[in-house]
């Protein structure tokens, strides 16, 4: 072994012990005679004091040392002299008086500083030198936090009889849903494996196999564009249970998360426990999105009835076209300048609105772009229904229901950030249930599965397959937190007749069903138990727990937004020989 102790563990209790440490030079302070080296490893930093009476060999080594060189140091732990302690350091009561210093490896001048958390370089530079970026305390902390989260999940689920089972990474292309990553087959020219978008089918088949309770820390792959909260490969806690109903799954996951957070990030507070539940319809009406940030109010308020007979053309025509008029109240924003209101209108347009009406509540009555069209009665009605006070700004959108919800839901988040309405240490978990089973695809003129085609329709709605598929609700559910979709799951179909009905409604032909899902239908016919499950995203959870603004900060080696690994420079071209073996020809 190169070391007897870690840099981070030394305390006053180690005083007068001889220790050998190995680590990186975090900082170096050369006073001409005495030299201080802050030696760092994953566990922490300790001050090493090099006095001028060392062997020449060691002194020569120290005189050349630069930041991030790798050293092995043997020395005596000593309590620091009175007044010399550093309360900012965990090891600040002691220092190691060097007896020998050996350079294990040198380091070139770094592209950026590992020490110091400010002045971070451009993210691509960090990603290119990710192995250096990960040396930073914050990143090391994020990686360890992630480990703790996953470890907690494993231990918890083990306690409740779950079995961790690995499923294949090389699997079969699924026709619907996200774009697949394809892997060409060498042995079967023209044929492809696909990387799993999730282990959905496999975990259901494990239920058919009688595993009863399964989980996996599962890597999933989707070839879609990236976002701050979306990577092409991501990790989810994939879990599935037999003989359960919706509330059994929700209760288990809620308990897991509640215990996990109090164990691992006790400084985080849950907004409410038990978590609130909303129907899909309700959450859209109140927050304008199916993944609401519940940490603050500013809910969407329907004022269609108040303005049903308004003289304002915009309101009139929205109602006539079957739309709605809704608003949100921005507290204390009545004094917004023309420029600020214009910027908000621009944001509303970007979200799909044709425009945005504003009503500022002032001591002299309503002002703003829509004020002159509002009668005194309407003004009173709006103030009373919204509870808007003097000094508030009411933002009104009139359009089709879906557009209005989206626009106001988006503006709500803009105000959250601008007015600091959401407490970063609050975790506002909630459940969204009763999703519609199908959504009409306007472009292709067919029904799409809102969740996925294996989701169980609510049994009361089964007759609607023939009459009104759009109204069928499913037994699907989402976990949301602070404006993110944290998990989604469902009770699954376990009967082949219902599964077939769903495939047919989705417009799949008989031969297609057989070719793509024959194995599922056949399995259901061999005694599939009722089952359901859920797949919470691990990247997003750790991101929230670590107070990071995007999931790249909690993934060791993420892709940048353009989908590249800038460290290894992937994707990259391959040798012609490889392509030939895979029966692939590149078209220019």
Among 302, 448, 512, 565, binds RNA (CB under 7 A): 448
Left if phi > 0, otherwise alpha if psi is -120 to 50, otherwise beta: which for 190? Answer: left
CA distance linking residue 233 with residue 221, whole number of Å: 4
Identity of the residue, 199 or 368, whose beta carbon is nearer to RNA in the bound complex: 199
Which of 477, 548, 540 lies closest to 253 in space, CA to CA?
A: 477
Residues of span 304-363 touching RNA by CB under 7 A: 350-352
Q: Binding of RNA at residue 123 (CB under 7 A)?
A: yes
Residues 169-188 binding RNA (CB under 7 A) are 174, 176-179
Minimum distance between the CB of residue 406 and RNA, rounded to whole angstroms?
A: 7
CB nearer RNA, residue 66 or residue 372: 66
**Which residues, 272 to 301, sit near RNA by CB under 7 A?**
none
**Residue 162: CA count within 13 A, CB half-sphere:** 26
Pick from 9, 137, 450, 514 the residue near RNA by CB under 7 A.
450
* Closer residue to RNA, CB minimum distance, 302 or 448: 448
> Which of 5, 22, 23, 38 is in the footprint of RNA by CB under 7 A?
38
3-state secondary structure of 449: strand
Q: Is residue 211 close enough to count as binding RNA by CB under 7 A?
A: no
Smallest distance from RNA to CB 239, Å:
14
For residue 411, the cross-strand partners are none
Q: Binding residue for RNA (CB under 7 A) from 288, 323, 430, 453? A: 453
Contact indicator for 312, 306 with CB cutoff of 8 Å? no
* Helix count and strand count (H, E) for the chain: 16, 24
**Binding residue for RNA (CB under 7 A) from 16, 33, 572, 573?**
33
Contact 168, 245 (CB under 8 A): no
When asked if residue 76 is in the footprint of RNA (CB under 7 A), the reply is: no
Q: 85 or 316: whose CB is closer to RNA?
A: 85
Task: Choose among 291, 359, 364: nearest CA to 328.
Answer: 359
Q: Which 97-116 residues touch RNA, going by CB under 7 A?
A: 109-113, 115-116
The correct pick among 74, 90, 99, 124 for binding RNA (CB under 7 A) is: 124
Binding to RNA (CB under 7 A) within 501-520 occurs at none
Nearer to RNA, 277 or 564 (CB): 564
Residue in 88, 267, 339, 577 binding RNA, rule: CB under 7 A: 88
Binding residues for RNA restricted to 220-249, rule: CB under 7 A: 222, 224-230
Quote the least distance from Cβ 388 to RNA, whole Å.
27
Q: How many residues bind RNA (CB under 7 A)?
A: 72
For RNA, the binding residues in 43-72 under the rule CB under 7 A are: 47, 49, 51-53, 66-67
Smallest distance, Å, CB 162 to RNA? Answer: 20
DSSP conformational letter for 4: S
Q: Which residues of 340-353 are buried (b: 16+ CB within 10 A; e: fewer)?
A: ebeebbeebeebeb
CB 517 within 8 A of CB 493: no
Rule CB under 7 A: say whether 499 interacts with RNA: no
What is the SS3 string spanning 252-291? Answer: HHHHHHHHHHHHHCCCCEECCCCCCEEEHHHHHHHHCCCC
Q: In terms of DSSP bridges, do strands 393-399 and 357-362 run parallel, antiparallel, or are they unpaired?
A: antiparallel
86 Cβ neighbours under 8 A, 6+ residues apart: 47, 80, 92
Nearer to RNA, 71 or 359 (CB): 71
Helix (H) or strand (E) holding 467: helix 464-467
**Rule CB under 7 A: which of 390-429 touch RNA?**
410
Binds RNA (CB under 7 A): choice among 4, 34, 297, 580:
34
Q: Answer for the pair 174, 222: CB distance below 8 angstroms, yes or no.
A: no
């Amino acid at each position: 072994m190169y070391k007897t102790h870690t840099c981070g563990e030394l305390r006053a209790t180690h005083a007068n012990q001889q220790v050998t440490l190995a680590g990186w030079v975090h900082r170096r302070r050369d006073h001409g005679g005495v030299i201080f080296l802050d030696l760092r490893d994953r566990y922490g930093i300790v001050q090493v004091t090099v006095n001028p009476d060392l062997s020449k060999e060691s002194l020569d080594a120290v005189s050349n040392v630069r930041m991030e060189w790798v050293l092995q140091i043997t020395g005596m732990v000593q309590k620091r002299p009175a007044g010399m302690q550093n309360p900012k350091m965990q090891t600040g009561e002691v220092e190691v008086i060097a007896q020998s210093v050996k350079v294990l490896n040198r380091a070139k001048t770094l592209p950026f500083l590992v020490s110091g958390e400010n002045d971070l370089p451009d993210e691509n530079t960090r990603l290119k030198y990710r192995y250096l970026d990960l040396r930073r305390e914050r990143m090391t902390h994020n990686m360890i936090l992630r480990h703790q989260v996953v470890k907690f999940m494993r231990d918890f689920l083990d306690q409740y009889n779950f079995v961790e089972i690995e499923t294949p990474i090389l699997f079969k292309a699924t026709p619907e849903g996200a774009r697949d990553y394809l892997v060409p087959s060498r042995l079967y020219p023209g044929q492809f494996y696909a990387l799993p978008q999730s282990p959905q089918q496999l975990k259901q088949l494990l239920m058919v196999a009688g595993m009863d309770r399964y989980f996996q820390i599962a890597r999933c792959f989707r070839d879609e564009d990236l976002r701050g909260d979306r990577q092409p490969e991501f990790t989810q806690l994939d879990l599935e249970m037999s003989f359960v109903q919706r509330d059994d799954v929700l209760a288990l996951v809620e308990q897991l998360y509640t215990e996990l957070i109090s164990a691992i990030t006790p400084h985080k507070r849950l907004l409410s426990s038990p978590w609130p539940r909303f129907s899909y319809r309700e959450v859209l009406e109140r927050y304008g999105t199916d993944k609401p940030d519940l940490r603050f109010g500013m809910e969407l308020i329907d004022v269609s009835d108040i303005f049903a007979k308004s003289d304002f053309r915009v309101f009139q025509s929205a109602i006539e076209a079957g739309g709605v008029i809704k608003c949100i109240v921005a507290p204390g924003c009545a004094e917004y300048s023309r420029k600020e209101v214009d910027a908000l209108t621009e944001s509303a347009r970007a979200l799909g609105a044709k425009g945005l009406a504003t009503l500022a509540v002032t001591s002299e009555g309503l002002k703003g772009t829509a004020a002159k069209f509002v009668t005194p009665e309407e003004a009173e009605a709006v103030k009373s229904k919204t509870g808007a006070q003097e000094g508030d700004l009411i933002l009104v959108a009139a359009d089709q229901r879906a557009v209005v919800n989206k626009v106001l839901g988006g503006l709500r988040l803009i105000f959250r950030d601008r007015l600091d309405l959401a407490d970063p240490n609050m975790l506002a978990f909630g459940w969204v249930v009763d999703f519609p089973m199908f959504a009409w695809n306007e472009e292709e003129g067919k029904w799409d599965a809102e969740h996925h085609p294996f989701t169980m329709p609510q049994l009361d709605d089964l007759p609607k397959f023939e009459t009104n598929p759009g109204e069928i609700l499913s037994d699907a559910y989402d976990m949301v937190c602070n404006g993110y979709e944290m998990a989604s799951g469902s009770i699954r179909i376990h009967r082949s007749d219902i599964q077939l009905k769903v495939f047919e409604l989705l417009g799949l032909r008989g031969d297609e069903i057989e070719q793509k899902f024959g194995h599922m239908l056949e399995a259901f016919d061999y005694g599939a138990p009722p089952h359901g499950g859920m797949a919470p995203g691990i990247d997003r959870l750790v991101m929230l727990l670590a107070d990071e603004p995007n999931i790249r900060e909690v993934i060791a080696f993420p892709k940048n937004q353009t989908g590249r690994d800038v460290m290894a420079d992937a994707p990259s071209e391959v040798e012609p020989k490889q392509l030939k073996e895979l029966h692939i020809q590149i078209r220019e």
